[in-house]
A and B are shown apart, each in its own frame.
Chain A
């Protein structure tokens, strides 16, 4: 018999605990509710597959989850490499794709396993940020045969998932609105000995009254969880502040990337401004 319900009443944490303790085999599909905040903007239902209480496969509905797609998503393969491999193989099984990847020297077997693992974890962690949505567990349903499976024990997944869920809730509290821009703190003089991550650097280099947090995130291909986390970190360090009034209409609809095409007029203003200092 299928297990059905809503995450509001029975959380993903509880579901995974059940699957883990009862060593269940089957497929769990979750359909996020429209209003539910999703940290990566995915509103498509997701499917997770388990064998004897271990997570073995995952995908979002409508999103291809062939091995090559998965490896591109986790950054282990470039889209060009993926296409080259796919063109050479008429049969579309993951096993065959994997062998081609190894034989062409693109990746080792270990790279592939780590890549699939990373993808599985990212997918399941994202589901922890869905606060509401119908779910259904269909016993004994397994992923399509041609897909690769990597078994992951659920215990650590549950622990880390919970941590992320709490962090996500805190981040939503701290930064409820992504459609505001950022500015450098007026008095950052107390800052000492902070070291910034590469992502923090990237965000800093896009700080500009016209760029909203959302636009910066989209440009840098960070999901809502990641851009909130980076922004929050910078805010905690006292480096940046959120601009208070959100814009009803952004002056420029798409993220204006820092451009170097300045008009003569603007340059003359800068020159004049510096002369006057």
Chain B
């Protein structure tokens, strides 16, 4: 193998910077959908068929993680990591949360039976990192969706926490959630 010494002028020799955000939440909350709506690469869906009791909800679940990419400019890339929905993959959470800029907790607004689980996931992630986060009240296009205000109460969240309406299949909605998270992050940065 031959090596070419890469020496470049200081001007165009900036290193590429990558930042990451994590998308978490209970099983079938819409994490994969969310990342897929905004990522420029096909989301790596490491999905597989699921057991009978959960099949009623959907046929496939993410067994490892999803990741998506958003190129901001020539030397800045944002990665979105989606956590697997099933708790037996918890061990990955801490690894995924390492160095994250912030996180989104996706909650299925149509399935209040998952709210308790969502709260527990949220609390776990807060323990890993003090980075800002937002809660996405997903599937607002569904007639039975709970409103973000009601969900905030049901989840027992403080007033200061953003619970945002979301439709993960719509890019504009995903952008809105990410931007709200970024604004929260910006507030904490003092230059």
**A151-167 interface (Cβ within 8 A of B):** none
Whether A110 is near chain B, meaning CB under 8 Å from some CB there, is: no
Q: List 5 A-B contacts (CB under 8 A).
A: A194-B64, A262-B19, A264-B189, A273-B70, A275-B179
Considering the complex of A and B, which 7 residue pairs feature the smallest CB-CB distances, nearest first?
A258-B99, A273-B72, A189-B42, A251-B15, A209-B16, A248-B5, A264-B191
Chain B positions within 8 Å of A209 at CB level: 15-16, 18
Contact string against B for A residues 183-226, beta-carbon threshold 8 Å, 1 for contact and 0 otherwise: 01011110111111010011011011110000000000000000
A201 touching B92, Cβ below 8 Å = yes
B6 touching A248, Cβ below 8 Å = yes
Chain A positions within 8 Å of B72 at CB level: 269-270, 272-274
Contact string against B for A residues 119-130, beta-carbon threshold 8 Å, 1 for contact and 0 otherwise: 000000000000
Enumerate chain B interface residues (CB-CB to A < 8 A). 1, 3-7, 13, 15-20, 38, 41-42, 44-48, 63-65, 67, 69-73, 76, 78-79, 81, 91-92, 95-96, 98-101, 129, 131, 171, 175, 178-179, 182-183, 185-186, 189, 191
B78 touching A270, Cβ below 8 Å = yes
Whether A1 is near chain B, meaning CB under 8 Å from some CB there, is: no
Whether A35 is near chain B, meaning CB under 8 Å from some CB there, is: no
Interface of A, helix, strand, loop or mixed by DSSP: loop
B70 touching A277, Cβ below 8 Å = yes
Chain B positions within 8 Å of A272 at CB level: 72
What is the chain A residue whose CB lies nearest that of B186? A267
A270 touching B189, Cβ below 8 Å = no
Nearest Cβ on chain A to B122's Cβ, whole angstroms: 18
Q: How far is the CA of A247 from the CA of B79 in the complex (A)?
A: 23
Whether A176 is near chain B, meaning CB under 8 Å from some CB there, is: yes
Looking at the complex, which one of A191, A267, A274 makes contact with B44 (CB distance below 8 Å)?
A191
Enumerate chain A interface residues (CB-CB to B < 8 A). 176-177, 184, 186-189, 191-196, 198, 201-202, 204-205, 207-210, 239, 245-249, 251-252, 257-260, 262-275, 277
A277 touching B38, Cβ below 8 Å = yes
Chain A positions within 8 Å of B18 at CB level: 207-209, 258
A176 touching B1, Cβ below 8 Å = yes
Nearest Cβ on chain A to B60's Cβ, whole angstroms: 10
Q: Which of A198, A259, A262 has the most CB of B within 10 A?
A: A262
Q: How far is the CA of A275 from the CA of B183 in the complex (A)?
A: 12
Chain A positions within 8 Å of B48 at CB level: 192-193
What is the chain B residue whose CB lies nearest that of A272? B72
Given contacts A205-B98, A273-B70, is CB(A188)–CB(B42) below 8 Å?
A: yes
Nearest Cβ on chain A to B140's Cβ, whole angstroms: 20
